[in-house]
Amino acid sequence: MAYRRPFKVGDRIKINDTFGEVIEIRVLVTRLRSRKNEEIVIPNTSILNGEVINYSTLVEQHGLILHTTVGIGYETPWRQVEAMLKLAADRTESLLKTPEPFVLRKELGDFAVTYELNAYCSDPSKMARIYSALHDNILDVFNEYGVAIMTPSYMADPAEPKLVPKDQWFVPPATPPSTVGSG
């Protein structure tokens, strides 16, 4: 561990399937704090023999790319999908504006095209919340433009579009966001 130095206290890391913030590095073990505020003790032998992903190391120089995928039917133009995904990223507060988000067409599947949205963030400690906000924005943008998301699986076109109409976005118990500073 002393020679490899794969992480330091405060880094967000993933060791095998374990994700958390490094809170202590000892001779025999490393302690992580999970997203759920659990303490995870990992033997350093496991770390030396396994894969370590450090989300913090390159953030300051390059930013961390967060990515998510959606499957959209072939009837929707890819340029429209790309624009909608970028709009969703633009609406997500903690994502960086530069470098700009980008979209890859990952797969031409049997029933849908798989698109991957890639956007930069500067704070790995907020990854889970940023992903959640990004997914909310993707759902809203695709509903606004009447485009159905077809993943994880899609068998046939339904008789009615599988969209949530805007007038039903805040059906109880959901409430609209408060308007700060109005009135």
What is the pLDDT, as a whole number, of residue 142? 94
pTM of the model: 0.77
Which residues in the chain are classed under CATH 2.30.30.60? 12-54
What is the pLDDT, as a whole number, of residue 182? 45
> The tokens of 31 are what?
């302690």
- At residue 13, the 3 state secondary structure works out as strand
What is the pLDDT, as a whole number, of residue 104? 98
Which residues in the chain are classed under CATH 3.30.70.100? 61-155
Q: In what order do the strands lie in the sheet with 64-73?
A: 64-73, 112-121, 102-108
What is the pLDDT, as a whole number, of residue 81? 95
What is the pLDDT, as a whole number, of residue 154? 59
Distance CA 164, CA 160 (A): 11
> The tokens of 165 are what?
């109409």
What is the pLDDT, as a whole number, of residue 61? 83
What is the pLDDT, as a whole number, of residue 165? 77
What is the pLDDT, as a whole number, of residue 156? 65
pLDDT tens for each residue of the chain, 183 residues long: 555 678 989 999 999 889 899 999 998 999 999 989 999 999 998 888 888 989 888 888 888 999 999 999 988 999 999 999 999 999 999 999 999 999 999 999 988 999 999 999 999 989 999 999 999 999 999 999 999 998 766 566 667 766 777 887 777 777 777 755 544
Architecture category of domain 12-54 in CATH: Roll (2.30)
Looking at 3.40.1410.10, 3.30.70.100, 3.30.1370.60, 3.40.50.800, the CATH number of the domain 61-155 comes to: 3.30.70.100
> The tokens of 152 are what?
């994880």
What is the pLDDT, as a whole number, of residue 59? 86
